[in-house]
C-alpha cells in the first residue's frame, strides 16, 4: 500500500537517533598516521633489515625514493578520504598521488637494461626472489582492510574508488617498507615485484569496492 509523503517522513522521524558526521580530514589523518606507525613499526621489527642498510639509507636516490613512496601513500590516503562522500569533486589528491607514483616510475625506467630485459625478467619470475611482492601484498591487504572497515558507512560518488585508493595508499607504504628490507635493487626487480603489485592491488581494490560500496 502506497505511503503518503507525510506518513513516510513521520516513519523516518520515528527512527531518529543521535548521530555523528564522518571524522574531519585532520582527525582521519591522525588516526591513519597512528595506525600506520604502529603497523609499520611492528612489520619493520618482525622483518630483518637488509644488510648494509645504514650505508644504503644515506644514498640520495634511496632518500628520494623513500620520500616519494611516503608522499604517494599519504596523499593517496587523502584521496581515499575524499572518495567517501557523495558530493565530493576533490581530484587534486588523486592527481597528486598518481603524479608521485609516476615520478617513481620515471626515475626507474631509464635504469632498465633494455638489451637484457627478457633475460632479466625471466630471472625475476622466481617466486623466492619475488617474496617481497607477497610481503607488500600482505601489508597492503591488512592496512587497506582496516581503512575499508573504518569507511564502511560511506556514500561514495564513485564506489570503485574507495578500496582502490585504500589499496594504492597501503601498497605504497608496503613499498616504502621494502626499501629497508628488500636487498634486490635491480630496476627490473623493483618494477616486477614492487611497482606491479601496487598497480594490481589498486585494480583488484576497485573491483571489490564496487560490490562493497554500492548504495
Partner 1 sequence: MVTFNRISAVEENLKHLYLESMSGDREKYERFLTMLSSVVKKYLLFLSKNGLSADLLDDLHQEVLLSIHEKKHTYRIDKPILPWVYAITRHRFIDFYRSMKRTPDLVEFHDIALEEELNKISLEEILAFLTQEQQEMLVMVKIEGESYEDAARKLHSTPENLKVKIHRLLKSIRKKYESL
Site for partner 1 contains 27 (CB under 8 A): no
Q: How far is the CB of 148 from partner 1 (least distance, A)?
A: 16
| Interface positions, 92-151, toward partner 1 (CB under 8 A) | none
Residue showing cell 594490481 = 200
The residues, any chain, with a CB within 8 Å of residue 32's CB and separated by 6 or more, are 77, 147
d(CA 183, CA 175): 12
Site for partner 1 contains 154 (CB under 8 A): yes
Chosen residue from 45, 51, 55, 87 binding partner 1 by CB under 8 A: 87
Site for partner 1 contains 20 (CB under 8 A): yes
Q: At what angle do helices 60-82 and 161-181 cross, to 10 degrees?
A: 160
Q: How far is the CB of 79 from partner 1 (least distance, A)?
A: 16
DSSP structural state of residue 115: G
Site for partner 1 contains 26 (CB under 8 A): no
Site for partner 1 contains 157 (CB under 8 A): yes
Question: What is the number of alpha carbons within 13 Å of residue 21 lying toward its C-beta?
Answer: 5
Residues that bind partner 1 (CB under 8 A): 2-3, 5, 8-10, 12-22, 24, 84-87, 153-155, 157, 215
Amino acid at each position: 500500500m502506497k505511503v503518503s509523503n507525510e506518513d513516510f517522513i513521520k516513519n523516518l522521524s520515528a527512527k531518529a537517533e543521535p548521530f555523528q558526521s564522518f571524522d574531519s580530514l585532520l582527525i582521519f589523518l591522525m588516526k591513519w598516521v597512528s595506525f600506520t606507525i604502529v603497523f609499520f613499526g611492528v612489520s619493520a621489527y618482525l622483518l630483518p633489515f637488509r644488510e648494509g642498510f645504514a650505508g644504503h639509507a644515506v644514498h640520495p636516490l634511496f632518500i628520494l625514493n623513500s620520500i616519494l613512496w611516503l608522499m604517494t601513500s599519504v596523499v593517496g590516503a587523502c584521496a581515499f578520504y575524499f572518495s567517501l562522500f557523495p558530493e565530493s569533486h576533490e581530484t587534486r589528491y588523486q592527481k597528486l598521488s598518481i603524479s608521485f607514483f609516476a615520478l617513481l616510475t620515471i626515475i626507474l625506467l631509464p635504469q632498465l637494461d633494455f638489451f637484457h630485459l627478457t633475460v632479466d625478467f625471466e630471472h625475476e619470475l622466481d617466486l623466492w626472489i619475488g617474496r617481497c611482492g607477497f610481503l607488500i601484498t600482505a601489508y597492503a591487504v591488512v592496512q587497506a582492510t582496516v581503512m575499508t572497515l573504518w569507511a564502511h558507512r560511506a556514500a561514495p560518488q564513485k564506489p570503485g574508488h574507495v578500496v582502490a585508493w585504500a589499496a594504492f595508499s597501503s601498497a605504497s607504504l608496503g613499498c616504502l617498507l621494502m626499501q629497508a628490507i628488500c636487498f634486490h635493487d635491480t630496476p627490473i626487480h623493483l618494477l616486477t615485484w614492487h611497482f606491479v603489485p601496487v598497480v594490481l592491488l589498486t585494480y583488484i581494490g576497485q573491483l571489490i569496492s564496487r560490490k562493497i560500496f554500492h548504495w
